[in-house]
């Protein structure tokens, strides 16, 4: 008996990595492992992806954790360091840092760092979240270059915000702006996340930065990884802990928001929002049991959820249930929950055991 757990398929992870590499054969790969590798276990993923040229994380603590576990490849801090103290720790740990604003530039210029650092200047090509404006680039490059803290050339990074929309003109504009601002400099360039790598072959530059695609999930919410040559790495599973006869007209669970349209059987699954399954998943959200999809009936609670198995079902207590993964793409569940699969996988709770398949 195995209640809420995830299976992590390392062969699928390696497969997805090589798919991304094949799409961008001239580029090096920064494997994005922020957020504990999107819920998959950052140390495990980094150790498995020994062909990656570098890793990227969002928080200094994530980088330090990788270093402490013996990862020696370059680690890029995607938003840089948030104060001078952190910058020193990042330098000590041989991280690559991003500089995206004046405060970070000041820290870099005014702090005596224990080791020289590789710097990636983040350019705002249209997302308007972080990054220096195109007209500021020359000044930033000059100042960073003047610092003894700098290792090598200043590198350049920018981020797409609509690369998952295949007919959008925005991505072309971002691409043009990135080239216009950075091409005169010798430093290395990186623009593409998963969507850029999958759908915009002109945007690969020196380094691609895939995240979600490594985990077998499509960056497009109207698609799924298996349709794009990817294999889901995480499968979220549990089991039935009760199968109950249920009369037409009766409700189930908190709020009584589901009413049985006919006599049926209800399956109770050991899985709830305490495991990271979204509480907002409405009636009708699919769940995979014994070769077919059934649907959620009643509100998801902390440790349990209920599905309508149908009047003729033969499912038994102990039968395996897949919430998302190989048999049921997380992207499809995400559509029902009105979110993206990124959010589903990253929210897996600590109490959910990880079982590694290799």
Ligand X SMILES: *Cc1c(COP(=O)(O)O)cnc(C)c1O
Question: Catalytic positions, please?
Answer: 34, 254
> What part of residues 251-290 is at the interface with ligand X (CB under 6 A)?
none
Specify the stretch interacting with ligand X by CB under 6 A; choose among 81-89, 207-215, 312-320, 344-352.
207-215
Instruction: Give me the least distance between CB of 31 and ligand X, in Å please.
Output: 9
| Residues 110, 93: Cα–Cα separation, whole Å | 19
Q: Among the candidate windows 16-24, 106-114, 170-178, 205-213, which touches ligand X by CB under 6 A?
A: 205-213
Stretch 214-243 residues interacting with ligand X (CB under 6 A): 219
Q: Three-class SS of residue 96?
A: strand
Q: Of the two residues 190 and 239, which places its CB atom closer to ligand X in the complex?
A: 190
Which CB atom, from 14 or from 159, has the smaller least distance to ligand X? 159
Q: What is the DSSP letter of 295?
A: E
What is d(CA 244, CA 317) in angstroms, rounded to the nearest whole number? Answer: 10
Nearer to ligand X, 149 or 194 (CB): 194
Instruction: Tell whether residue 211 is a contact of ligand X (CB under 6 A).
Output: yes
Give the number of residues in contact with ligand X, rule: CB under 6 A.
12
Interaction of residue 29 with ligand X, rule CB under 6 A: no
Sign of CA dihedral 288, 343, 232, 273: negative
Residues 7 and 26: their CA atoms lie apart, in Å, by 32
Q: Which of 48, 155, 194, 235 contacts ligand X by CB under 6 A?
A: 194
Q: Using an 8 Å Cβ cutoff, are 277 and 256 in contact?
A: no
Name residues whose C-beta falls within 8 Å of residue 234's C-beta, 6 or more positions apart in sequence. 6, 7, 8, 9, 39, 40, 215, 216, 324, 325, 330, 345, 348
Of positions 8, 23, 24, 32, contacts ligand X by CB under 6 A: 32
Residue 249: left if φ>0, alpha if ψ -120 to 50, beta else—which one?
Answer: left
Q: Is 299 in the site for ligand X (CB under 6 A)?
A: no
Name the residues that contact ligand X, by CB under 6 A. 32, 34, 78, 159, 193-194, 209-213, 219
């Amino acid at each position: 008996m195995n209640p809420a757990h995830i299976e992590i398929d390392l062969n699928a992870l390696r497969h997805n990595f090589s798919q991304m590499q094949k799409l961008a054969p001239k580029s090096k790969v920064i494997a994005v492992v922020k957020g504990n590798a999107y819920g998959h276990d950052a140390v495990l993923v980094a150790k498995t992806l020994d062909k990656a040229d570098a890793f990227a994380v969002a928080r200094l603590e994530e980088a330090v954790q990788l270093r402490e576990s013996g990862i020696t490849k370059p680690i890029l801090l995607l938003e840089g360091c948030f104060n001078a103290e952190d910058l020193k720790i990042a330098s000590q740990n041989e991280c690559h840092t991003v500089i995206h604003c004046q405060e970070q530039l000041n820290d870099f210029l005014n702090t005596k760092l224990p080791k020289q650092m590789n710097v990636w200047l983040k350019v705002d090509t249209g997302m308007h979240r972080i990054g220096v404006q195109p007209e500021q680039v020359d000044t930033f490059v000059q100042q960073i270059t003047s610092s003894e803290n700098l290792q090598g050339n200043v590198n350049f990074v920018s981020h797409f915000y609509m690369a998952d929309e295949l007919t959008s003109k925005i991505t072309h504009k971002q691409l043009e702006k990135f080239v216009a601002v950075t091409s005169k400099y010798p430093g290395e360039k990186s623009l593409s996340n998963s969507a850029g790598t999958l759908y915009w072959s002109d945007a690969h530059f020196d380094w691609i930065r895939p995240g979600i695609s490594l985990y077998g999930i499509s960056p497009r919410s109207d698609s799924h990884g298996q349709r794009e040559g990817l294999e889901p790495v995480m499968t979220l599973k549990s089991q039935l802990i009760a199968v109950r006869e249920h009369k037409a007209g009766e409700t189930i669970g908190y709020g009584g928001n589901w009413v049985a349209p006919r006599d049926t059987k209800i399956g109770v699954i050991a899985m709830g929002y305490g495991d990271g399954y979204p509480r907002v998943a409405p009636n009708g959200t699919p769940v995979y049991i014994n070769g077919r999809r059934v649907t959620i009936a009643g509100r998801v609670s902390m440790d349990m959820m209920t599905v309508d198995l149908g009047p003729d079902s033969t499912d038994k207590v102990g039968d395996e249930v897949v919430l998302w993964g190989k048999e049921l793409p997380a992207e499809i569940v995400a559509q029902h929950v009105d979110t993206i699969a990124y959010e589903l996988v990253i929210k897996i709770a600590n109490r959910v055991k990880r079982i590694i398949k290799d």
